[in-house]
Amino acid sequence: MDANSIWFDDKELTAFSSIANVQGFPQGETIFSEGDDADVMYLVVSGKVFIGIDKSGSCTAIAELSKGQIFGEMALLNQDIRNATARAIDDVELLSIGPDELKQIIETNAVLAEKLQCIIQQRNYELLLKEQLVATTGVENDNLHVSIKGDPSLRETAFTRERYESIADSVLPNLVPCLRKLLFETSAYRVFVGLNNGEVRINSVINPFIEEMHLAKKIVSSAYIERHFPPMDYDTKVGLIKEVTEYIESTKSFSRLPKKWNQVLDKIQDEWTPVPKEELESVLDQLVDLRKIPNFYLRNLSISVAQDAIRMQFNCDGTHIVSTREYSRFLEQNIMM
């Protein structure tokens, strides 16, 4: 069951209408926008409502609501800003319910209060699950690309700042095959390459709670890698990641977590898949070229066997997080002009 499968019938709509305000919106009109302050929630009396969220500058549909369904309650109850945009698909009539009206409903109508509580709990669970899946696996949809803006002053001076060769630049052609070795032949499952400062941060399945820090000029040595990271083939490493996760879920400490967290983490475990080797290969293949771009060259990059989200920072402002599946298209559209 999801929250949008719970409806209020005609009798319940009548109960709401006795204390709520009626509002009409013509076809195409925006009811509220993502980022707006929230002072009311809505219940659909007639017509249909589009719910969408902003993704890379465009509004992507996440729900279509009709008679008997509520929306906007999460921002109201959490005293938060709107996390989505609502728009009238056709002419709609809505019941507008503020905090005072909501309190009155909860205190005077046990049936409506119970139904509202069920919707709110389910919405909380769905939101937590969605956010955790993105944060943990990087998988949101087939076109994952998140751009996080930084200091505008950095963007304005990107073309005028003089570029210097770093320690990493001097060893970069030899560093790439060593990164392949780390990810495909050792216990390492994540690498962060600081191309400006020559720092390589590595996470290993053997000691997953520690991030090791190494110098790029040392990582280019096979002997150095062999001293620090046990040999392990890709499939064995993937199996170990699954085993560790399953073990954590079997512990008493995990069982003491609130029920919603057990459900969310079980769902993440069920849906998790490793990043295919060929997709990681394609990222590594472009590393030298990205660093050589005259203006918007790569400053640092993070890739992982366990998380389908490549994190990149260029010499301009901000950060790009891109799915490995979308990496080549990202380069074509944004970098390789």
Q: Are residues 189 and 220 both part of a single domain?
A: yes
User: 67 and 165: one domain?
Assistant: no
In this structure, are 128 and 203 located in the same domain?
A: no
Last residue of a domain, one of 98, 121, 137: 137
Single-letter residue type at 206:
I
Residue 139, pLDDT > 50, answer no
34 vs 204 pLDDT, higher one:
204
* Residue 211 and residue 280 in one domain: yes
CA distances from 320 to 148, 153, 291, 311 (A): 6, 18, 15, 6
> Does residue 337 carry a pLDDT above 50?
no
pLDDT of 294 above 80: no
Same domain, 133 and 149: no
H or E element at residue 59 = strand 58-65
**CATH code of residue 105:** 2.60.120.10
Instruction: Identify which has the larger pLDDT, 258 or 183.
Output: 183
Q: Domain count for the chain, please give it.
A: 2
Which pLDDT tens digit goes with each residue over 1-37? Answer: 455 567 889 999 999 998 899 999 999 999 999 889 8
d(CA 226, CA 9): 67
Domain boundary among 90, 118, 137: 137
pLDDT in tens, 36-95: 988 899 999 999 999 888 765 567 787 899 999 999 888 887 778 888 899 999 999 999
pTM of the shown model: 0.62
Q: 116 with 40, same domain?
A: yes
Show the domain range for 81. Answer: 3-137
- Let me know: does 74 contact 127? Beta carbons within 8 Å: yes
Instruction: Give how far Cα 294 sits from Cα of 150, 288, 291, 336, Å.
Output: 21, 12, 8, 11
Asked whether residue 77 falls in the same domain as residue 185, the answer is no
Q: Are residues 264 and 157 in the same domain?
A: yes
Where a domain ends, among 88, 117, 137?
137
Give the count of beta carbons closer than 10 Å to the beta carbon of residue 127.
13
Are the beta carbons of 307 and 190 closer than 8 angstroms?
yes
> Quick one: 178 and 322 in the same domain?
yes
